[in-house]
Amino acid sequence: MGEGVDRGFAREPTIGAPVLPDYEDRFGLSGLPFSDQVNRFYPGHGRQNLKDQLLHLLHFSDAPTLATGPIGCGKTSLITTLATDLAGEDHCFVPSVSCYTSASGLLFQLAQHIGLAVDKAMPLPVLWTKLNEWAEFSEGNLQVFILLDDAHELAPDAAQQIIRLVSADSETNCWHLLMVADEGWEARISQWDASLLQSMQVFKLPAITASFVSDYLAFRLSEVGYDDAPLFEESEEEQLWLDSGGDLHQLHRLAEQRMAEKISQQESGTESALPWLHLGALALLLSVLAGAWLWQGNAEAPAPVTLTLPPAANVVEVEPDRALVHAEPAAVPTPAVAAAPDQPSLVSLAPDPVQSDTPEPAPETIRDPLSRTGGMPHAEPAPEATPVAEKATPALSSTVEHTADERALLALAPDRYVIQVLGAASESGVAQFVTENRGLGLRVYRSERAGKPWFVVVQPDFASLPAARAAIQKLPKKIRDSGPWPRAVAEVQQQIRSES
């Protein structure tokens, strides 16, 4: 793409790498999600549509194009992505800001980029003539794409000369210009020369909103392999938006700090706070237990006397289950059958415990009902245990069942790719979306977000990442505008299994 493309597109971060714990390893990320040194173009919220439109104009329009927007809204990321898309063209000129100081310096760099024999000492009219002659000689067979980031830094004469150079080339359509600048710069162009602005096509990037920040953070994390529960609460996302002032560079820095703080809280904050709570609760519990033990020590003195009064056989038959086992069924078989349907027989046992109000006869009253109930040969307790096992078994098996779409996704090869089209909390809304787009072969799998059900819609399946990205361009316009992105099948399968 030429020497201009080699410069760093991203601005230098406000601070260096965080000195707090390494969140990259802790969250299992393949890279730093919020590094300004790595361009990750976010296609959502209409950004993909704008990029496609600008790319179309660069190829087919002979008018200069200007895109403005608030500071930090992603203009640099946009122009960096366009430069990557134009890498295979004849010439893609992306100069550094150091060339913006004068018209002669900017045109000299352009002439040198396309291979003209020029010298820095050449006056501006000579450079202008050489560039026009080269354009006429090419007869439109050679295309030069000029991408100027931070165009508001251009000196007035440099901006006017480059715009006039492109506007004057209506016959060969050799020069193609895109300038990206902070909002309000078009007013300065109009002050220099109103005709210049009239010859341009102007686009505006919207300001960053709270909903944009929420989706943008999720996108940046997914780009480095994170596909788990959201790391930021809604209140945290809104606070990050407010603190960043709508500047993505500041948002990156703040999000990076917040992730590092989460680890710091896990490693030190929670470990230092919880033990004090635990120790306090444990001390209170021990004091209660000690008081209860001391109180029982005084109250349990007569208890051994009551236990020594019944015979030794009664002590063995204290547990009801064992009493049923050791009871002799042949002792009273016939009366037991006759007494089984009569509910009042249970009431007739009441006088025995009533007569024994004192602690001493209590074991005897327990022995009598046990011996009588143990004489029921047909009232076996075994069938009562089986329904409990039968109820537990279906509950366990239902948690591992997958839907037909989930089974289809699990059957794909892990090294393939899908396109994530939609994510929503409404299952009915997702089902309606899939029905409306049934021709796309969409699949739905269940997930969880912020502790609530979350349904993800993907389009399978593609052999490689470039194939998936190419398929995004073939989706309906409404879906493209929502910002779909490719994902590895292995990540999707891991999420399905973790949620089952």
Q: What is the mean pLDDT of residues 56-84?
A: 91
Q: Do domains 46-205 and 404-499 have the same CATH topology?
A: no
**Mean pLDDT over each residue of the chain, to the nearest integer:** 75
> Over 70: is that where the pLDDT of 391 sits?
no
Number of H helices, E strands in the chain: 25, 9
**Residue ranges covered by each domain of the chain:** 46-205, 303-382, 404-499
The band of 457, judged by pLDDT with boundaries at 50, 70 and 90, is very high
The band of 28, judged by pLDDT with boundaries at 50, 70 and 90, is confident
pLDDT of 280 reads 65
Q: What is the mean pLDDT of residues 367-372?
A: 40
The band of 27, judged by pLDDT with boundaries at 50, 70 and 90, is confident
Q: Which phi and psi (to 5°) does residue 464 adopt?
A: -150, 165
Q: What is the mean pLDDT of residues 19-45?
A: 76
pLDDT of 127 reads 94
Fold of 404-499: Alpha-Beta Plaits (3.30.70)
Q: Which residues pair with 457 in a beta bridge?
A: 422, 444
Query: What whole-number percentage of the chain has pLDDT above 70?
Result: 69
pLDDT digits (tens, 9 = 90+) for 211-263: 999 999 999 898 888 877 888 888 899 999 999 998 998 999 998 888 888 77
How many whole angstroms separate alpha carbon 464 and alpha carbon 387?
A: 52
Architecture of the domain made up of 46-205: 3-Layer(aba) Sandwich (3.40)
pLDDT of 278 reads 57
Best mean pLDDT range from 174-183, 287-296, 347-356: 174-183
- Lowest pLDDT segment from 117-121, 180-184, 282-286, 325-329: 325-329
How many whole angstroms separate alpha carbon 409 and alpha carbon 456?
A: 12
Q: What is the mean pLDDT of residues 348-370?
A: 43
pTM over 0.75: no
Q: Which residues pair with 205 in a beta bridge?
A: none
How many whole angstroms separate alpha carbon 184 and alpha carbon 70?
A: 9
> Over 70: is that where the pLDDT of 297 sits?
no
Query: What whole-number percentage of the chain has pLDDT above 90?
Result: 32
The band of 295, judged by pLDDT with boundaries at 50, 70 and 90, is low
Best mean pLDDT range from 9-13, 73-77, 136-140: 73-77
Which of 281, 496, 257, 299 lies closest to 400, judged by CA? 496
> Over 80: is that where the pLDDT of 154 sits?
yes
SS3 457: strand
pLDDT digits (tens, 9 = 90+) for 186-212: 999 999 988 888 888 899 998 899 999
The band of 426, judged by pLDDT with boundaries at 50, 70 and 90, is confident
For residue 52, give both structure tokens. Answer: 């496609």
Which of 313, 328, 329 lies closest to 366, judged by CA? 313
The band of 64, judged by pLDDT with boundaries at 50, 70 and 90, is very high
> Over 90: is that where the pLDDT of 281 sits?
no
CA distances from 473 to 46, 202, 223 (A): 14, 24, 19
